[in-house]
Amino acid sequence: MQEINSLEGQNGSAAMKERFIYPNLKLRVYTTGMRQNRLAKMVGIDEAYLSRIINGVRVPGKQMQQQIAQVLGCDAEWLFQQATRQVPGSSNSAAAELS
């Protein structure tokens, strides 16, 4: 599993965080009506960790992607198609996340 690192802005003064979001995952969780705490329990992970995956803070490994897809009843490749977005963040908050 991978933590998203911060990236320096082009001018070097502001750090930007790159997040990999999964719009299909958000959509599937919403359309199935499954609560995050139930999904997390069914795949054997902490609810906070699942929330970080859904919100693009953490990138799950292939095995975790397969488990989540199986519980949600869909294809893992479709479920975890990535969209990338840049979010503002300071160097200090990025360093704190890596701790």
For the chain, what are the domain ranges? 2-98
- Map residue 39 onto helix, strand or coil: helix
Residue 79: pLDDT above 90? Answer: yes
CATH number of the domain at 2-98, please? 1.10.260.40
20-51: pLDDT as tens digits: 789 999 999 999 999 999 999 999 999 999 99
Taking residue 75's Cβ as centre, other Cβ atoms within 10 Å add up to: 12
Cα(82)–Cα(12) distance, integer angstroms: 26
Binning pLDDT at 50, 70 and 90, where does residue 87 land? low
Binning pLDDT at 50, 70 and 90, where does residue 14 land? low
Cα(73)–Cα(69) distance, integer angstroms: 6
